[in-house]
Amino acid sequence: MTSKHHTEKTSAAGTIVGFDFQYYYFLYKLLILKKGETIGFEVLDDVHTQLNNDHQVLIQIKHSIQKKSNGTTANLTELDPDLWKTMYNWSAVITDKNDGRESQIDQRKFVEKTTFILASNKSFTSSNTFLSKISDFQVGQIDFEKMSNHLKTLHASTKSEEIKSHIGLVISLDESVLSEFLRNIKSELNVANIIDQCKTALEEKDVNPREIDNLFNQLDSVVRQDIFKNFSDNKKLIYSFEERSRKFRRYFDIANNPDLKIRKFEGGLPDRIEEQTFIKQLLDIEDINLSEQEIIQNYTRYRIMLESNLSNWVAEGQLTSEEIGIFEDDIFRQWETEYRSSYRGKGNPDEYIDIAHNILKAMRSKALSISGQTLLSDMSHGSLYSLSNRPVIGWLKDWKEKYK
């Protein structure tokens, strides 16, 4: 067998993906939270929910990166450490004296109002007799004695001292408490593609399908920041239904708004930005000079922001290429009207720079729109810079000869 390198042994990959699995499971449960319920992350359990009938759900989440020979995730076996660590944790919670559950009466009251869920990406296997017997016990196919005997058999058969200790705590529970505990255990196994489940939850809320990925990314960021802030301040992270609605409502409104979503340009600028055709045009009419590098950079951002948004809108199906053609044709007609009327009867070249600057000023003052939506000024100006960069429009009388 090939030995692992030291870096492989110390890699935190499994821990990181395990935490992310827990987090996205929490996010999924948060998205489907119902009115009157609350949900917590790392408060009462890995994840917990409080229902509106004074019932609570404690969820232990286990993730594995182990694979079977066919490439699927490993099974949850009957003596799986994840299974018995979970059972141990719950048993310790049930008998927690520091939480006022020293007596069997208090322990039973706690168990009666609690559902215990083990959620994992591991798969169920029919060889996991313990889980099968729990199901049989819950529907009355076997009695408590048979269930208890099976636990004792597992306790005697395991060679792992840790698992033996974990099973031992479960067995030590009062019979009435253990019986109710076993009745309230559920498993959610083979939880795969948890991110897709989050997106499906958004789809089931009638979110515009084209906006699901963007909305998911926004909500993901909001919740992750909440976790970081709360944990940094040593605070508990609990959302009520109302709190979730308050935090998320605006993002849902934006996602379901038919208006085009404008994204700021945050990428890098091209090299030698002063050599862009639209910049040369602006330099030649003395709208800017080479010393105004910040302005040149901003104008370049406006152009790229306009072009990248147009490209995204077409790619995401929010606009058609025909609609963009109509948008650019409309700008061209408005420019053509200004250009022709401004130069009509003007034959003195000494006037051309002033005329060109007035044309630019008139076009910048126009409120341009696309598909019925008025653009912000930087996007409107960006459309002028984009067209004059190709160039399709210009400002000087002889712009075609100079720049085409």
Prediction pTM value: 0.68
Q: What pLDDT score does 8 carry?
A: 46
Please state, in angstroms and rounded to a whole number, the distance separating the CA atoms of residues 221 and 225: 6
The set of residues, in sequence order, having a beta carbon less than 8 Å from that of 108 and lying 6+ positions away, is 174, 176, 177, 180
Q: What is the per-residue pLDDT for 12?
A: 61
If we measure between CA atoms, which residue out of 237, 232, 258 comes closest to residue 48?
237
Cα separations in angstroms, 46 against 40, 92, 93, 97: 8, 15, 13, 20
Tens-of-pLDDT digits for all 404 residues of the chain?
445 554 444 446 668 899 999 999 999 999 999 999 999 999 999 999 999 888 999 999 999 988 887 878 889 999 999 999 999 999 999 999 999 999 999 999 999 999 999 999 999 988 999 999 999 999 999 999 999 999 999 999 999 999 999 999 999 999 999 999 999 999 999 998 999 999 999 999 999 888 899 999 999 999 999 999 999 999 999 999 999 999 998 889 888 877 888 888 888 999 999 999 999 999 999 999 999 999 999 999 999 999 999 999 888 777 888 899 999 999 999 999 999 999 999 989 999 999 999 999 999 999 999 988 899 999 999 999 999 999 999 999 999 999 98
Question: Which residues are CB-neighbours of 363 under 8 A, at least 6 positions away?
Answer: 334, 335, 338, 384
Count of alpha carbons within 13 Å of 146, Cβ hemisphere only?
13
Q: Give the pLDDT confidence score for residue 4 in this predicted structure.
A: 52
Q: What is the CA 123 to chain-centroid distance, rounded?
A: 25
Q: Closest Cα to residue 201, out of 250, 260, 252?
A: 252
What pLDDT is stored for residue 263 in this prediction?
87
Q: Which residues pair with 57 in a beta bridge?
A: 49, 115
Q: Closest Cα partner for 226 from 243, 251, 250?
A: 243
Residue linked to tokens 């168990």: 111
* One-letter amino acid of 178: L
- Say whether the peptide bond before residue 391 is cis (omega within 30 degrees of 0): yes
- The C-alpha atoms of residue 50 and residue 61 are separated, in whole angstroms, by 17
* Contact (Cβ atoms closer than 8 angstroms) between residue 85 and residue 166: yes
d(Cα 6, Cα 10) in Å, to the nearest integer? 6
Nearest to 336 by CA among 385, 285, 391, 393: 393
Residue 136 burial class via C-beta count within 10 angstroms: exposed 0-12, middle 13-18, buried 19 and up: middle
Q: Any idea what DSSP says for residue 313? A: H
Whole-number Å distance between alpha carbons of 80 and 82: 5
Q: Which secondary structure element, helix H or strand E, spans residue 28, and what is its range?
A: helix 13-31
Distances (CA, A) of 174 to 91, 167, 337: 11, 14, 90
Running DSSP on this structure, what letter comes out for residue 35? T
Count Cα neighbours of 224 within 13 Å in the Cβ-side half-sphere.
9
